[in-house]
Structure 1
Amino acid sequence: MTARPQRLQLQPFAPGCVRGVLRRAGDPGSNSLLILSAAALDRLTACPAGLIVVDGAPFSHAMIRLLGLGIPTVLATAAQAARLPEGAAALLDGATGLITLPPPAAALPGPPAAPAPGVAVSTADGATVELRASVADADGAARAVRHGAGGIGLVRSEFLLSASSQVPDAAAYRTALAALCQAARPLPVTVRLLDISPDKRPAWLKPLPGMAGPLGLQGVRLYGREPVCRAWRAEAAALAELARDFDLAVLIPFVTHPAEFRRWRREMEQALGSQHLPIGVMVETPAAALALPAWMELADFVAVGCNDLMQCLFAADRDQPELAPLLDPYAPALYRFLQMLARDAGEAVGRLQLCGLLPQYPKILPILLGLGFRIFSVEPVMIPFLARQVADTHIDRAACLADALCAARDAEQARRLLGLPASAA
């Protein structure tokens, strides 16, 4: 008699179904489902079939970079990982978070077809939705085109030249950005200017007093200090030159007050010279989000950085694994806040882009559509999966579900409303 398969529910992270052998050490090999700690991610030298990351912080920069590899991935607690037998054959489903031992013999589902690049997608009832890509280099831009991105919604330009020990000049930025824009053709490209933070400090920048923790000196707060001032001006000069050949826009990061944006928009326009690029604001704190009416007047467009917004809203550093349960993507308070943001935007919601991992969580994109958001910038590998969700969504039903989630008592009730398993928190 054949034993029933054992199924272990873990946290989904990067989609894809793969069979492999559970391994904890050694050469991962192309057929391995590698179990490793979040701290060991930087030492990953080969690409296994799938990854099981133990005690990872889902919204951390290390996990975001992992998404770019396109490896099906789930997250596990140490107790869950201990239940996975070394050397056993298993099936990993990164979209549902399920590990099945032994793996079923049935054919595995492939990824959904990618939409045409540069083209918006539509809901079941005809609402237009833009799925843009967030990238860090030319390879990411090429993946965005392959996966059917509507545009490059966010270039994390702080990673372009971060390994150099020399402060980048305009020529270095021009070379790196030109390669990225060329790889992204025919897509429009929005470049976020240098967004340096303690966990994204480039090799050419020494630690500065006050540059510690998620609420210290970072983003635009460093723009008046050398050598960051020299670097962002060099980047602006490169963008001004490249704007003659590419469809570009610029985002100013980590702005808190309208007065800040006025100052740095003025300086950015001076640095761009005769080139007139759309200049947007990156909204990443509750105070900035509450100033949305002002941004709609002052900026050409607005990008909401959901990862940083969540860490401020929940007072939990997103790079600390032990605080990960506090950054719950199903917390009703988060959706009540986003509902207020969409209402404040009103008819201008078409100039508002949501960035970050939030739309990629199971069942969340229809909720965001129900709240009124229509533009998203996500990891390229997610776009075909999200496009399929968009096509299955009816806006009226999504709006009713969004209202119910906003009224939920807690995250566990929200999960039940969405038909999801209980949290491991």
Structure 2
Amino acid sequence: MKQTRRQEQRFTGHPVSPGIGIGPLHEAAEPELVVATKKLDPAEIAPELARLDDAVARSRHQLQKLKNRLAALPEDSQAEIAPLMDVYLHMLGPSRLLRGIKARVQEALLCAEAAVQAETEAQAEAIMAQTGQERAGRLRRADEVRELGRRLLRNLTRQPFRSFAGLAQGSILAASDLRPSDAALIQPARFAGIVTEEGGVEGHTAVMLRALGLPAVLGAEGVLDAVAPGTMTIIDGDTGEIVLSPSKASLEAARRKLSAQTRARRALAKLQRLPAMTKDGTAVELQANLELPFELAMIAESGAHGIGLLRSEFMFMNRDTAPDEDTQTRIYQDIVEAMDGDPVTIRVLDWGSDKEVEALSRYLPETPEANPALGLRGIRLLLRHPALLETQLAAILRAGAHGPVRILLPMVSVAAEVQATREILQRVWRRLKRRKTIALPESLPPLGIMVETPAAALASPVLAQHADFFSIGTNDLTMYTLAADRSLPADVKLYDPLEPAVLRLIHLTASFAAGAGIPVSLCGELAARPHVAPLLLGLGIRQLSMHGNAVPRVKRAIRATSLSLCERLAGDALAAPSAEAVRAILASAEP
């Protein structure tokens, strides 16, 4: 960091962990990684592979030590980070990553360092280039691959890792970037906050920083070049603002906001024990989405009553073969037991040719699909491979002996898909009942469908005759309704779940579900927006599932409104000409 004159300067980054941090800023620089590359002679292949094996062994040893050190971190942080270490350890086994690295050494005659660098970047770029899966999921997977490459390179070259031991107590920790394993070493009690020049709201690092409970702002470009070591700094993890050398007025304002946030957090914590109910007595069920097991700790703290969407794809990632029935049963059972009687809705594998999953590659069509988003994905693909579906259904049924579960089918368009799946489910149920040693629930779990296409919404009167419940996925419903992907540039302004066309499909689905007497929930990104909650209630939704962190704020919004106001909002929004008009309606209703 270079010395600059001491006057107030302001920067903006991505807010990833809420709160105000005030303290002297100190950088924890990562030693530069210098990697020499060279071509091998054929006679050097064997010793080079031995070097690689040694680096793999050292990396596994380090990660195991890191897991053991997690006992010193807060309990919630342990739950966030330990499963990530398991992912890294698995990738250091007989994985696609290591096979690709070794192939580059043997076939391209690259030295181990060059092979690691080339293969990890190639796999990370391939993951990010996929379509169909949420960007956050792709980013997490790419980060995992890059993190392993970085660790292998450090061990191949014997160059040191980053250390936080010498930084002053109560300081703002600054870095150009933080990796997930770096975040795992942070002792929360030592720092007032964290700021980096790179990174964003998605990925494992952001998730772990939220678990640590420290105010954090990532991606604040230029901060390190503008500040001297020890400069007093304010970071705002809610807005992403960073103030270097703050004035007296700025410091006083930050301290007032810190006090106000402390009071607000205490108020939100009290909400955990209160029902999600409008002022005129309409009850709403708030549940949490679960993408990776380490998010269970967040769900436990959020006050959510169950898991409304468990994305089962995580079990199939970074594996050579699909997990067998016993493996899947253990994973589901652990989650069901952790929820202690609250329901768990498990979505069967939502996957297609747009998602590169090595364990499932043999099930894909030999000829690449021209348009994977409209091709064989979700239940369409599973019904073509019933053995894969039967294994997953059997595991869910067995886990259902340990707590209430529901089964959710993705990408349903027609009733025949639900009928075919129910026949398979009943066949699996009968087979398991013949195995007298297998514990099962007293009855078949409810079988529901994702409503994420206009076809499913429009066919909801028919689908309600075959499904036990609906779950509206607003992310895909918005994409398919508006023929616009979430990855479109923001200035295009086509992908917007508040478009009246999308809202009308939500209202239609909720109305027909109510008429058929089946539950309907909403589990897309829209569910996590507190200011939209009254509108969703007015559209007929009484169950919402969202990221655990959003539950208290959505509950607060529900408790501050009335059903009569919600229904007026919905009527105005359904008649509105555009998403912008809907936003104006919502803004006018805010207190």
Distance 1:278 1:138, change over 3 A: same
Matching of residue 252 in structure 1 with residue 252 in structure 2: no
Matching of residue 131 in structure 1 with residue 286 in structure 2: yes
Q: 2:21 aligns with which of 11, 19, 22?
A: 19
Matching of residue 237 in structure 1 with residue 379 in structure 2: no
Q: 1:399 aligns with which of 540, 553, 567?
A: 567
Matching of residue 267 in structure 1 with residue 450 in structure 2: no
Distance 1:46 1:201, change over 3 A: same
Q: 1:113 aligns with which of 269, 272, 289?
A: 269
Please state whether the residue corresponding to 1:122 is helix, strand or coil: coil
* In 2: Cα distance, 1:219 partner to 1:379 partner: 22
* In 2: Cα distance, 1:85 partner to 1:65 partner: 19
- How far is the alpha carbon of 1:388 from its aligned partner? 1.1
Q: Confirm or deny: 8 A CA contact 1:304 1:355 kept in the other structure.
A: yes
* In 2: Cα distance, 1:53 partner to 1:327 partner: 29
Matching of residue 168 in structure 1 with residue 292 in structure 2: no
Distance 1:202 1:406, change over 3 A: same
Q: Confirm or deny: 8 A CA contact 1:22 1:85 kept in the other structure.
A: no
* In 2: Cα distance, 1:407 partner to 1:83 partner: 46
Q: 1:220 aligns with which of 369, 375, 379?
A: 379
Matching of residue 298 in structure 1 with residue 470 in structure 2: no
- What residue number does 2:241 align with? 99
* In 2: Cα distance, 1:348 partner to 1:51 partner: 52
Matching of residue 415 in structure 1 with residue 580 in structure 2: no
Distance 1:281 1:205, change over 3 A: same
TM-score (norm 2): 0.58
Please state whether the residue corresponding to 2:255 is helix, strand or coil: coil
390-399 vs 328-337, which moves further: 328-337
The residue identity in structure 2 corresponding to 1:155 is L
Distance 1:11 1:335, change over 3 A: farther
Distance 1:327 1:269, change over 3 A: same
- What residue number does 2:445 align with? 277
Distance 1:220 1:66, change over 3 A: farther
213-222 vs 375-384, which moves further: 213-222
- What residue number does 1:423 align with? none
404-413 vs 151-160, which moves further: 404-413
Q: Deviations over 1:81-117 (max 9, x none)?
A: 77988657454354xx563645623225143116558
Please state whether the residue corresponding to 2:349 is helix, strand or coil: coil
- How far is the alpha carbon of 1:22 from its aligned partner? 12
The residue identity in structure 1 corresponding to 2:19 is C
| Long gaps (5+) in structure 2 | 1-6, 31-161, 165-170, 187-192, 228-232, 434-442
- How far is the alpha carbon of 1:289 from its aligned partner? 1.0
Please state whether the residue corresponding to 2:472 is helix, strand or coil: strand
Map residues 71-86 of structure 1 onto 2, 5 A cutoff: none
Distance 1:174 1:367, change over 3 A: same
Q: 2:369 aligns with which of 196, 206, 210?
A: 210
The residue identity in structure 2 corresponding to 1:92 is D
User: Considering only CA atoms, is the larger Rg found in Structure 1 or Structure 2?
Assistant: 2
* In 1: Cα distance, 2:319 partner to 2:489 partner: 29
- How far is the alpha carbon of 1:290 from its aligned partner? 0.9
- How far is the alpha carbon of 1:221 from its aligned partner? 1.4
- How far is the alpha carbon of 1:54 from its aligned partner? 9.3
Distance 1:32 1:359, change over 3 A: farther
- How far is the alpha carbon of 1:193 from its aligned partner? 0.9
The residue identity in structure 1 corresponding to 2:392 is E
TM-score (norm 1): 0.78
Q: Confirm or deny: 8 A CA contact 1:367 1:402 kept in the other structure.
A: yes
More strand by share: 1
- What residue number does 1:365 align with? 533
The residue identity in structure 2 corresponding to 1:177 is Y
* In 2: Cα distance, 1:68 partner to 1:336 partner: 38
* In 1: Cα distance, 2:175 partner to 2:284 partner: 36
* In 1: Cα distance, 2:507 partner to 2:521 partner: 14
Q: Confirm or deny: 8 A CA contact 2:448 2:468 kept in the other structure.
A: yes
- How far is the alpha carbon of 1:307 from its aligned partner? 1.0
| Long gaps (5+) in structure 1 | 421-425
- How far is the alpha carbon of 1:268 from its aligned partner? 2.0
- What residue number does 2:141 align with? none
* In 2: Cα distance, 1:11 partner to 1:406 partner: 33
Distance 1:46 1:352, change over 3 A: farther
* In 1: Cα distance, 2:499 partner to 2:14 partner: 16
Map residues 33-48 of structure 1 onto 2, 5 A cutoff: 45-47=181-183
The residue identity in structure 2 corresponding to 1:217 is L
Q: Deviations over 1:129-169 (max 9, x none)?
A: 00011113433234322211111111111112422212211
Distance 1:75 1:137, change over 3 A: closer
Q: Deviations over 1:39-85 (max 9, x none)?
A: xx9x65544957899998x9xxx679966874778999xxxx77988
* In 1: Cα distance, 2:578 partner to 2:545 partner: 27
Map residues 185-204 of structure 1 onto 2, 5 A cutoff: 185-198=340-353, 200-204=355-359
* In 2: Cα distance, 1:73 partner to 1:399 partner: 38
The residue identity in structure 1 corresponding to 2:412 is V
Distance 1:73 1:303, change over 3 A: farther
Distance 1:322 1:161, change over 3 A: same
The residue identity in structure 2 corresponding to 1:361 is R
Q: 2:475 aligns with which of 269, 292, 307?
A: 307
Q: Confirm or deny: 8 A CA contact 2:282 2:563 kept in the other structure.
A: yes
Q: Deviations over 1:253-312 (max 9, x none)?
A: 111111121112211221232451111111111111111111221111111111111111
- How far is the alpha carbon of 1:34 from its aligned partner? 8.1
- How far is the alpha carbon of 1:399 from its aligned partner? 1.8
Distance 1:189 1:362, change over 3 A: closer
Please state whether the residue corresponding to 1:155 is helix, strand or coil: strand
Distance 1:116 1:17, change over 3 A: closer
Q: Deviations over 1:158-191 (max 9, x none)?
A: 1124222122110110111111112221311111
* In 2: Cα distance, 1:162 partner to 1:297 partner: 35
* In 2: Cα distance, 1:297 partner to 1:139 partner: 36
Q: Confirm or deny: 8 A CA contact 2:17 2:209 kept in the other structure.
A: no
Query: How well do the aligned residues superpose, as a CA RMSD in angstroms?
Result: 4.0
Distance 1:341 1:15, change over 3 A: farther
The residue identity in structure 2 corresponding to 1:163 is N
Matching of residue 140 in structure 1 with residue 281 in structure 2: no
* In 2: Cα distance, 1:242 partner to 1:224 partner: 22
